[in-house]
Amino acid sequence: MRFNAFFAIILFVISPYIFCQENSLSITNIPAELLENSNSVLRNEAISIEIDDIDKMTIQTSRIVTVLNKSGEDHVSSLQFYNDNSKIKEQSAVVYDAFGKEVKKFKQRDFKDVSAVSSNDLYSDSRISYLDYTAISFPYTIVYTSEVVSDNTIFIQPWSPLKRTLQSVQESSYKIINTRNIPLRIKEANLDSTVVNSSTQFNIDYSVKNIASIKGEHLSPSIWDYTPKVRVALQEFELAGVKGNANNWQDFGKWQYDNLLINKNELSPKTIAEVTALTKDEENTLEKARLIYEYMQAKTRYISIQLGIGGWMPMNAIEVDNLGYGDCKALTNYTYSLLESQGIKSYYTVVYAGEEQEDLDSEFASMQGNHVILTIPQENENIYLECTSQTTPFNYLGDFTDDRNVLLIKPSGGEIVKTKKYNFEDNLEQNNSQVILNADGNFEATLVKTSSGIGYGNQYGLERLDLKDQERYYRNSWRHLKNLDLEKLSFLNDKKEQTFQEQLSFSGTNFSSKAGNRLLVPLSIFYMDTEDTPRYANRKYPVEILRGKTVEHHSSFKIPEGFEIESIPESTEIENQFGSFKFTASVDGDTILVDQTYVLKDGIWPKEDYTLLRDFMREVQLNTSKKAVLISTN
């Protein structure tokens, strides 16, 4: 739901007394163009960071947000993260109604205080103090202020005035007051003439006014790729009492190795002996590494522990060895130590994890990333290990850490590399089905589905579900199959080849439809998984497909007794810049054989090509809905 511009017009008509008041918080002071397509308006955000010393900075935040409707409530951001090295000195909020009349005040003691991490975390000093406010009516405005003092100067909050879709910005400013004149490194992105830069050599000052909201578009780049952003880092910094100095990723990685990772690889003699015995008969280094990785998976479990230097230092390997658990840092360091005990080289690796494929900025060295994995260097293609999972295969990334810049932390320093990319040929789904048709329109069928690449990671978790949840999954996935009855269900997870096979026997009703003495038979028992392409009257952003794929459907349809084939669809072949589709149907005795292959490529295309993508998807969908006609012989 978005703010209705008509509502703004009505306000001007019915409330002249209110509008004559000079109340800056009234929604009548928001330019009309900022209300259009907006769920909220960032009225004014002022961030001021004072660098008091290498080991101390003060962050003052003032944020005024007008929430126009319920969908805008997530845009308020009246919260503050803190920990043992970052203290909240002041925090308050005031809520106002649509016309700037005060509704309620909140002092710091009124804010909710909770752990900043999930319930499976064993230890953590990271917390959030946030405003828990339930609106009575819309629109309303929240004025939020906070002051935080931090001992960690390795993290400098970046400036990104336009953080989300459907929120406009009336005014935003960002200042760094650097009284110690510590050298700064600055990285600007997507700044245009609307951004005012009044910065000097040692002080930062950016501001912007009146940015209209952005409507999200399906299959477009992340908003971070095209909105204003400024990153800042101190050349000299401190993290929980440990000082550092870095200009580039090599220096920054060297600092991390020397201060966060070194001398944390001790293992018990018992464990070293176990690993040595496990691998003694294996000559191939990577097969040894595989055995060690699976040993680690069987021996440990993931529990987040946000302690150490700012939550960035892993616990010692021998602690994980004794306890049997750890977070991503600890388990990665533990696996590194196990491999090292057998002379296998590997590197602790920092990454932004998540489906969106966020890169570490290769041109701007700073404390980045939200996860760590392990890299075993290879001449052609590195091996990557996800150490927090007890089920992920050796050298499988999936869509959690694929195809993005990561930081290898070596004894000699840091190095930015790209993780494995899964091409459309790798992301293969093969469906082989045999369907027996009945004269009443019902059917019986078997399916063997094999998934690899990204699809493997999406599917192999099925085998760990109980039978009830497995059946629920298929019924939800195949809602077009009426009265679905799953009669047999089994799985084959080949972790070495990274393929997952689903074997099913099932039946259903009303698959074929009657038309007089004819049966109309759909020749796709499963829908082709194409991309959703809603219509846009005026597309504004490029088309981006992050991951390609190949889907093959090979089906046979045995016709019922008393019927013969009257017609089958002609073959079709489509190919363009987005991929291809091929459909063929043939007859073998009393059986119709159907082959369909759909290829979707990844890439970025101009916004003008979106119409071509829509046309391609529509053609694929039309061709996968083709039907054969059977006629009764009785």
Residue 565 and residue 570: Cα distance in Å, rounded?
14
Q: Pick the more confident residue, 121 or 25.
A: 25
Calculate Rg over the CA atoms of the chain: 30
User: What value does the mean pLDDT of the chain take?
Assistant: 93
Q: What is the mean pLDDT of residues 319-347?
A: 96
Q: What is the pLDDT of residue 309?
A: 65
pLDDT tens, position by position, 580-590: 999 999 999 99
pLDDT tens, position by position, 477-504: 999 999 999 999 999 999 999 999 999 9
Q: 124 pLDDT band (50/70/90 cuts)?
A: low
pLDDT tens, position by position, 383-424: 999 999 999 999 999 999 999 999 999 999 999 999 999 999
pLDDT tens, position by position, 513-539: 999 999 999 999 999 999 999 999 999
Q: 208 pLDDT band (50/70/90 cuts)?
A: very high
Say whether pLDDT at 558 is over 50. yes
Say whether pLDDT at 278 is over 70. yes
Residue 238 and residue 180: Cα distance in Å, rounded?
14
Say whether pLDDT at 12 is over 70. no
Q: What is the pLDDT of residue 17?
A: 36
> For residue 179, how many other CB atoms are within 10 A of its CB?
11
Strand partners, 417: 406
Residue 519 and residue 504: Cα distance in Å, rounded?
25
Strand pairing of 140-150 and 229-234?
Answer: unpaired
Structure tokens at 118: 């999930």
Alpha helix positions (H), 432-584: 454-459, 467-477
Q: 308 pLDDT band (50/70/90 cuts)?
A: low
Structure tokens at 329: 């840092």
User: Do 49 and 175 form a contact (C-beta atoms < 8 A)?
Assistant: yes
Residue 511 and residue 509: Cα distance in Å, rounded?
6
Domains and CATH numbers, the chain: 5-239 (2.60.40.3140), 252-418 (3.10.620.30), 428-632 (2.60.120.1130)
% residues pLDDT > 90 (the chain): 90
Detail the DSSP E strand segments found in 13-101: 40-53, 56-67, 79-82, 86-96
% residues pLDDT > 70 (the chain): 94
pTM exceeds cut of 0.75: yes
Q: 207 pLDDT band (50/70/90 cuts)?
A: very high
Q: Pick the more confident residue, 51 or 19.
A: 51
Q: What is the pLDDT of residue 1?
A: 43
Q: What is the pLDDT of residue 127?
A: 87
Q: What is the pLDDT of residue 22?
A: 44
Q: 312 pLDDT band (50/70/90 cuts)?
A: confident
Strand pairing of 86-96 and 102-106?
Answer: antiparallel
User: Do 289 and 394 form a contact (C-beta atoms < 8 A)?
Assistant: yes
Q: 310 pLDDT band (50/70/90 cuts)?
A: low
> For residue 550, how many other CB atoms are within 10 A of its CB?
22
Q: 254 pLDDT band (50/70/90 cuts)?
A: very high
Residue 568 and residue 512: Cα distance in Å, rounded?
14
Strand pairing of 204-211 and 167-178?
Answer: antiparallel
